[in-house]
Amino acid sequence: MDFFEHQDKARRNTGLLILYFGLAVLCIFGALFTLASYFLSRDPYSEKILWDIGLAVQIALGTGLFVGLGSLYKIATLNGGGKVVAESLGGKPLNPGTLEPKEKRLLNIVEEMAIASGTPVPPVYLMEEKSINAFAAGHSPENAVIGVTRGCIEILNREQLQGVMAHEFSHILNGDMRMNIRLIGVLHGILLIAGLGYFLMRIAPYLGGGRRNRESGGLGITLLVAGIGMLVIGYVGAFFGGLIKAAVSRQREFLADASAVQFTRNPQGISGALKKIGGLSEGSRIEAPKANECSHMFFGSSVASLFATHPKLEKRIRRIEPNWKGEVPEGNNSTKSIHATKSSVISGLTNNKGIGNKKTLTETSPQSRHSQETILHAGNPTQAHVSHARQIISETPPALLAKVREPFGARCVVFALLLDKEKKVVREKQLAFLREQSERGSVEETENAATLIADLSSEQKFALVEIASPALEHLSNGQYATFRSIIEHLVAADERLDLFEWSLRKVIDHDLGRRFTRKHPNQGSASVSRLLPECMLILGSLARHGQEGEAPEPAFRAGASALTRKLSPELPKAEDCGVPELNAAVDRLDKLTSLDKRSLLEACSRTIDHDGKATDVEVQILRGVAAGISCPLPPSIS
């Protein structure tokens, strides 16, 4: 199963979550109706319960509104994405420019994995907990954050920490985070009944007993009994909450472990981290008050629970290391044994169904298939991509990396990427605008960055924008609006929009725009056949701009045949393949389903690879298209 299939499955799982939610509400309604009927609808002579339909309708409406509004309120409070979850758990953002060695090591690993997977670099939050644990939270890769405990970075070595981060990136890429956020909201509504019961029990003593009149005392007793009843009924919600968490979490943890092995090609990394959890007295326990609410998000079980959200530790280790003997390291480096299950071992993780069996693209020619390989690994990066990402970072001037890791320098680097390199008059116009609209020192910092950027490849330039994401997230809404306005003016200074400017702007909107606008990715319902003209315009733009003097028709046909065999679409005219038309088409194509987005990107790759090479312009267009339709695209490996 690849990234696109995971996204499609995540969409279907939302329907399953709604079904579970409906069953829970139905059971809560039944229990509340029985309780209300016992108190309010009994025959005064026989004491038999009268099942009143009118009362049932009132209870049903009240339950639905109470639980539904409670869930909607919680989901609304979580609209800010992973940042809200991280802060609720006591996490503090790590400074991207930190010099503390272990914190810096963690940030380096996260940067490498983000670039390798083609996602914005997520901000990292540190929780001052002694246990070993981590989580990824957010609605999408664009507003994701990663949370890590102090114990995780202090106790684990680099390869173990990399295994844990690979596990969390799997959740980011597989669409698990969105489901996790919805789970918090849904469960909050279900558990509100118990909260209301507890409240009634607390106020009951103040309304009865002592010198108060009999009516008041009767009201107090009634509230007390009703409160106890609602508290008990609330545990119906807790029961279903546990079932829902367990149902959607356990298999995803096995899948994320498997993906981490594929990502790092190092089973000892993640298995070593799991073993250290087993040998640590604190284990993976989280002390934060909201830990139970978010227990399904963590790398390891954060709280003890009847309905465990994670498989048993020994089962997870044994799936990675079938011959494991049950020994784990203790804090003093000695070893101890924990119970190791003897149940049948599922086949090795790297051959796990759905992980290693990726769909193979149809061969288009015996020539280079670099772009097709890039699409093949969208959302499924390998250790080769991590190594390539590390190389991209290592070959980027350290002074530039230092700039993009703090807000002021990051903005100036983005401005430098947009400075005109050919026309001095345009460049002077851009710098004059910067001097007028930006902070003091911005022009000098931008010119300095432009000198360092001059010899970078497009891949390195895009990587700089991704690395800058955590620093730029610290901008206020007003600062971001100014930043975005300056970008628009720099792009418009030469009164034309080139493909690099367009693709860079798409990446910035993808990486940052959704974090500030809180706009979540389109789930998609349109098909390729419905948006075929827009798809053909993308392929036509790639063919016309990227063939370097070769006839564009053969490359266009190679891509078009991947989308439709019944029709013979015409190559779009050159005047219809400009940047404005390209931009409008990409905006509409964001409505495609996940599987149709894959089909489009595969068609793009066949157009690019038709001549056996990927030009800089083609890479820029592909990056812009992928960002515009919210698909993570790893760097191309030659």
Last residue of a domain, one of 458, 480, 508: 508
**98 in a structural domain:** yes
Cβ-count burial 85-105 (b if 16+ within 10 Å, e if not): bbbbbbbebbbbeeeeebbeb
Q: What is the mean pLDDT of the chain?
A: 81
What is the percent of the chain where pLDDT is above 90? 28
**349 in a structural domain:** yes
pLDDT of residue 433: 92
Contacts of 166 (CB under 8 A, 6+ apart): 113, 259, 260, 261, 263, 264, 269, 270
Residues 199 and 137 in one domain: yes
pLDDT of residue 275: 93
- Closest CA relative to residue 319, chosen from 255, 266, 380, 382: 255
Residues 138 and 244 in one domain: yes
386 phi and psi angles, rounded to 5 deg: -65, -45
- Closest CA relative to residue 515, chosen from 487, 474, 486: 474
pLDDT, tens digit, 9 for 90 and up, residues 515-554: 776 666 666 678 888 999 999 999 999 998 877 777 899 9
Give the up-direction half-sphere exposure of residue 246: CA atoms within 13 A in the CB hemisphere: 13
607, 571 in Cβ contact below 8 A?
no
pLDDT of residue 633: 79
Show the domain range for 252: 1-326+343-359
Residues 537 and 601 in one domain: yes
**597 in a structural domain:** yes
Residues 167 and 43 in one domain: yes
127, 288 in Cβ contact below 8 A?
yes
Residues 45 and 130 in one domain: yes
367, 357 in Cβ contact below 8 A?
no
Residues 57 and 169 in one domain: yes
- With 70 as the cut, is the pLDDT of residue 345 above it? no
Residues 126 and 260 in one domain: yes
93, 472 in Cβ contact below 8 A?
no
Residues 449 and 568 in one domain: no
pTM greater than 0.95: no
Q: How many domains does the chain have?
A: 3
**373 in a structural domain:** no
Residues forming the active site: 168
Residues 424 and 528 in one domain: no
Residues 531 and 504 in one domain: no
Last residue of a domain, one of 462, 483, 508: 508
- Closest CA relative to residue 470, chosen from 146, 232, 156: 146
Q: Hunting for tokens 């991209």 — which residue is that? A: 392
**109 in a structural domain:** yes
Q: How confident is the model at residue 113 (pLDDT cuts 50, 70, 90)?
A: very high
pLDDT of residue 520: 63
Q: What is the mean pLDDT of residues 193-204?
A: 76
pLDDT of residue 70: 85
pLDDT of residue 152: 95
Residues 528 and 491 in one domain: no
Residues 195 and 93 in one domain: yes
- With 50 as the cut, is the pLDDT of residue 361 above it? no
CA distance 411 to 323: 51
**224 in a structural domain:** yes
pLDDT of residue 350: 39
pLDDT, tens digit, 9 for 90 and up, residues 563-603: 887 778 889 998 888 888 998 999 999 888 888 888 898 89
Last residue of a domain, one of 476, 508, 540: 508
Better-scored residue on pLDDT, 393 or 637: 393
**582 in a structural domain:** yes
**375 in a structural domain:** no
Lowest mean pLDDT, pick from 244-248, 308-312, 403-407, 633-637: 244-248
CA distance 112 to 283: 27
